[in-house]
Structure formats: C-alpha cells, structure tokens
Amino acid sequence: MLSKSKRTTIYLESDLYKALRLKAATISRSVSHLVNDAVREALAEDAEDIAAFDERTKEPVISYDEMVKRLNQDGRI
C-alpha cells in the first residue's frame, strides 16, 4: 500500500523501545513499520467494537435484577 507518510515524534519507555528495535531487526522491518501496524490494528479493533456496540443498541434493555433472575432460573448461578 503506497501512501504518504508523516514524520512525528513519539516517546516510548526505554524497555519497550529496546524490544521494538530487537523485533524490527529480527523480522527485517523498520520500527516505523511495526508502530504503523500496531496503531492500524488498534484502530481496527476500535472500529469493530463500535460496530458491535451499534448492533447491540437495538437489543432490549434488561435491568441487573432481571438478568440475575434469568441466570438463577436457568441454573447458571
């Protein structure tokens, strides 16, 4: 995927940066590539969470008391 890159400064904990550098060297990738992949993955997870939340907004709301009663009736508590 070709896209323009932006330069930025981030501050990482020393141990985290060392581990990231070692991983980058081990798999022949740049630290920037690994950071981009991690951020992209985190944003994708957020998008999935938002989609799941949006789907569940159509479900009926159940009170805590009602949920406990249902669990009890089903023998799960």
pLDDT tens digits, 15-46: 999 999 999 999 999 999 999 999 999 999 99
Those residues with Cβ within 8 angstroms of residue 29's Cβ, 6 or more apart along the chain or in another chain: 23
pLDDT band at 2 (very low <50, low <70, confident <90, very high): low
pLDDT of 3? 73
The number of C-alpha atoms within 13 Å of 19 and in the hemisphere containing its C-beta is 6
pLDDT band at 4 (very low <50, low <70, confident <90, very high): confident
How far is the C-alpha of 35 from the C-alpha of 20, rounded, in Å? 9
pLDDT of 58? 85
Q: What is the mean pLDDT of the chain?
A: 94
How far is the C-alpha of 65 from the C-alpha of 62, rounded, in Å? 8
Domain boundaries, given as residue ranges, for the chain: 15-60
